């Protein structure tokens, strides 16, 4: 046996629910005897208000105890799960005051409310007047009591249904339906919106439409609903007696009475009626009980919804972090490949192998235009379903319906196809791609030194396989990959490897050809600068004396930005010409080669070009055509580096790397201008003027460059022994 105190759901420090008796203001003492009549003690029964039991014999023992007067404790039967068919409510009520289920006891607010009402009812009906009132009155009381019990049972079942609803919205709909069906209340459920700080109508009974035209938002202090929500107290009012309480006109335009039932932090249940006497004490008690249980159900659903939302947020956050980690890992892996590989073919294959490991990437393909520029040819590939490339012809094209890699090869801009199936008839390649389960494509150009080294294309096995962060990373990495390939190509050319010498006739696109025609004299290339960050500068020797108009005539040539005289003390003046677009020398330098000789006459222009034998000559010639330098290959010869006087070596690069761009420009201009000849063909002042710098600045740059070059030469030799 155990003594309990039932209340409205609040708990004391010991965890025992407490509540005040409706009439006395004292806690209700519950005496639970769940074993047998032998456990009953008269003293305990005399001090108890209620008794809970599952045993019929216990009930009989209480009622037959002569020591207990007529005001015996209220007896509530705890209906067990294995109650038989015969244990109906009516049968049980013959021996007990009321019937509860085990689940009800687990909700202190429900238990306390029912005990308070029963206690008040029993005390009233057991008064002396009630005892003398006769059998007919007792029969009426029993009938009312049975009806109340049935209503409570219906509310209990409704509560279970609310708790088992699959969502908060569904629970709200059921709440309104049960309020109308069981209690006859036409109500609207207002839910608190913490962002707007207002009560918003969530769902309402159909019968309320005849009373309220449009359900308003309830702002602070605009209706009694707000007061009930803030204070947490049930409010029952009529239009005539409401006094100073706020009434929203949209709600009370036709209503004569209202019942406001707070639902904790969730909101308020509002019932309105045209009948001023609609909400009597019994209705209010039952509605309050229902609101207590509904509050628990709604808050339970709200907590579950919040937990699900939080779980979704955490899942999304984790997925975002995983994608971020995958992107960082991809960047790290690609950079490791670029740092640890010194062969272009190995770099390209390793890049494809790593990219195909990206989630949803089925194939990675690195390609370049063929020498004729009519198709893309493979340089490296990784993944599955490679038959796609054997089936589809992929020419460089700026057609919006073209294959993505081909479009990139022509436009030199990234192309992303989010869903290949979205416009399946927009290009023949789409159907073939879908047959290979390629549902999205991203292609990026590999460009360095203004040269297209290839196209990297990834094919995904689902739509939108490549999100924006990954696409952005691929665009960034494309530049790094191209720059590394460019460096590897140049480094290969610096090594003591066989060379290929090409003799070309330039038909058009050569600025020097136009200068020769303008001056009507042969022009010979004396040197070039190859700084990638500044316009190309060439030094030319002309076979005619200079006139006052010579420089102006050269500046008027299409493709010339500026021109200046470097040396005019010999029969072959040296001129410095800045070009507006890449020259033949700039294109050849991209391949690790150099222009050995270039002579332009008014009739023809010939050039001798040297490139490493590892360079695909057809690719170089195709690039010249792409740069609008039309040409004819006159001869091709295989040479060794010993056959040619060439500064192209690692030591040469090391020397030049010691100079700043400005120092290199100054000393190169001075060299071609004859400043270092003896006797000098030009003065430092003349060179400085051509460079648009002061004479002291010119000499400072020359001295600094000389010191760097000599210290690099002699210090290295000293260290080498």
> Dihedral of the CA atoms 160, 163, 166, 172 (nearest 10)?
100
List the one residue out of 265, 258, 197, 261 whose CA is nearest residue 233: 261
pLDDT tier at 234 (50, 70, 90 boundaries)? confident
pLDDT of 39 > 50? The answer is: yes
pLDDT of 674 > 90? The answer is: no
Average pLDDT, the chain: 77
Report the 10 Å Cβ neighbour count for 71.
12
d(CA 671, CA 261): 98
Report the 10 Å Cβ neighbour count for 170.
15
Please state at what angle helix 650-657 crosses helix 468-494, rounded to 10 degrees: 120
Angstrom CA distances, 45 to 417, 614, 677, stand at 82, 108, 128
List the one residue out of 611, 451, 589, 449 whose CA is nearest residue 527: 589
* pLDDT tens per residue, range 516-556: 888 888 888 888 776 555 677 888 888 888 888 888 898 88
pLDDT at site 630: 84
- Please give the model's pTM, rounded to 2 decimal places: 0.47
pLDDT at site 492: 66
* pLDDT tens per residue, range 293-331: 788 777 777 777 778 788 888 888 888 888 888 889 999
Share of residues in the chain with pLDDT > 70 (%): 75
d(CA 577, CA 540): 8
d(CA 692, CA 690): 5
Classify 530 as helix, strand or coil: coil
d(CA 545, CA 80): 122
The domains found in the chain, sorted by start residue, are 2-162 (3.40.50), 166-306 (3.30.450.40), 342-493 (3.30.450.40)
pLDDT at site 481: 95
Decide: 401 and 364 in contact? Cβ < 8 Å.
Answer: no
Q: How many Å is the Cα radius of gyration of the chain?
A: 48
List the one residue out of 300, 6, 291 whose CA is nearest residue 165: 300
667-681 mean pLDDT = 79
Top pLDDT among 139 and 189 is at 189
158-182 mean pLDDT = 80
pLDDT tier at 128 (50, 70, 90 boundaries)? very low
pLDDT of 290 > 50? The answer is: yes
* pLDDT tens per residue, range 59-117: 777 767 665 555 556 666 666 544 444 444 455 555 566 656 555 555 555 566 566 65
pLDDT of 444 > 60? The answer is: yes
d(CA 273, CA 459): 66
């Amino acid at each position: 046996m155990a003594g309990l105190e039932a209340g409205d759901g609040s708990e004391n420090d010991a965890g025992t629910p407490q509540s005040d008796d409706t009439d006395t203001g004292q806690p209700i003492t519950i005496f639970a005897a769940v074993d047998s009549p032998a456990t009953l003690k008269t003293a305990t029964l005399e001090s108890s208000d209620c008794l809970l039991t599952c045993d019929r014999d216990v009930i009989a023992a209480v009622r037959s105890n002569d020591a207990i007067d007529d005001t015996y404790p209220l007896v509530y039967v705890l209906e067990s799960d294995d109650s038989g068919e015969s244990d109906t409510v009516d049968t049980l009520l013959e021996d007990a005051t009321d019937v509860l289920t085990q689940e009800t006891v687990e909700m202190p607010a429900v238990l306390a409310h029912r005990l308070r009402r029963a206690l008040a009812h029993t005390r009233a009906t057991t008064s002396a007047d009630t005892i003398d009132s006769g059998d007919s009155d007792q029969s009426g009381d029993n009938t009312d009591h049975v009806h109340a019990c049935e209503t409570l049972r219906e509310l209990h079942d409704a509560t279970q249904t609310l708790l088992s609803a699959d969502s908060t919205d569904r629970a709200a709909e059921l709440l309104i339906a049960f309020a109308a069906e069981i209690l006859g209340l036409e109500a609207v459920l207002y839910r608190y919106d913490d962002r707007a700080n207002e009560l918003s109508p969530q769902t309402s009974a159909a019968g309320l439409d005849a009373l309220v035209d449009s359900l308003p938002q309830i702002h602070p202090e605009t209706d009694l609903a707000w007061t009930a929500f803030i204070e947490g107290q049930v409010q029952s009012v009529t239009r005539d007696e409401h006094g100073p309480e706020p009434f929203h006109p949209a709600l009370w335009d036709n209503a004569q009475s209202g019942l406001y039932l707070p639902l904790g932090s969730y909101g308020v249940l509002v019932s309105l009626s045209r009948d001023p006497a609609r909400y009597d004490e019994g209705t209010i008690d039952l509605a309050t009980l229902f609101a207590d249980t509904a509050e628990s159900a709604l808050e339970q659903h709200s907590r579950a919804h919040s937990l699900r939302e939080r779980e979704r947020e955490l899942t999304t956050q984790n997925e975002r972090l995983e994608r971020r980690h995958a992107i960082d890992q991809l960047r790290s892996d690609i950079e490791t490949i670029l740092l640890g590989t010194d062969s272009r073919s190995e770099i390209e294959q390793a890049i494809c192998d790593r990219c195909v490991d990206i989630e949803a990437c089925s194939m990675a393909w690195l390609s370049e235009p063929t020498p004729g520029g009519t198709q893309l040819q493979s340089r490296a590939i990784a993944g599955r379903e490679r038959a796609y490339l054997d089936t589809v012809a992929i020419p460089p094209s700026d057609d919006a319906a073209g294959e993505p890699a081909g479009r990139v090869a022509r436009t030199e801009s990234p192309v992303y196809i989010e869903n290949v199936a979205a416009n399946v008839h927009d290009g023949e390649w789409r159907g073939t791609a879908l047959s290979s389960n390629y549902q999205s494509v991203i292609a990026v150009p590999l460009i360095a030194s203004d040269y297209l080294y290839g196209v990297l294309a990834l094919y995904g096995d689902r739509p939108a396989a490549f999100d924006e962060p990954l696409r952005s990373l691929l665009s960034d990495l494309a530049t790094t990959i191209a720059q590394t390939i460019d460096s590897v190509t140049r480094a290969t050319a610096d090594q003591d490897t066989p060379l290929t010498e090409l003799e070309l006739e330039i038909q058009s696109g050569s600025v020097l050809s136009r200068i020769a025609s303008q001056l009507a004299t042969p022009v010979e290339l004396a040197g070039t600068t190859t700084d990638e960050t500044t316009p190309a500068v060439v030094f030319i020797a002309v076979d005619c004396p200079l006139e006052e108009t010579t420089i102006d005539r050269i500046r008027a040539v299409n493709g010339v930005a500026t021109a200046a005289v470097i040396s005019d003390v010999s029969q072959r003046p040296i001129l410095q010409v800045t070009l507006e677009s890449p020259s033949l020398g700039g294109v050849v330098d991209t391949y690790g080669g150099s222009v050995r000789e270039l002579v332009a006459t008014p009739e023809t222009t010939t050039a001798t070009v040297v490139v490493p034998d590892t360079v695909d000559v057809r690719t170089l010639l195709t690039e010249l055509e792409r740069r609008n330098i039309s040409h004819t290959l006159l001869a091709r010869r295989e040479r060794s580096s010993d056959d040619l006087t060439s500064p192209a070596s690692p030591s040469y690069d090391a020397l030049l790397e010691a100079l700043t761009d400005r120092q290199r420009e100054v000393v190169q201009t001075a060299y071609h201008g004859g400043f270092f000849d003896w006797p000098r063909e030009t003065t430092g002042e003349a060179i400085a003027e051509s460079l648009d710098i002061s004479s002291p600045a010119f000499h400072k740059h020359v001295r600094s460059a000389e010191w760097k070059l000599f210290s690099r030469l002699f210090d290295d030799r000293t260290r080498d022994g």
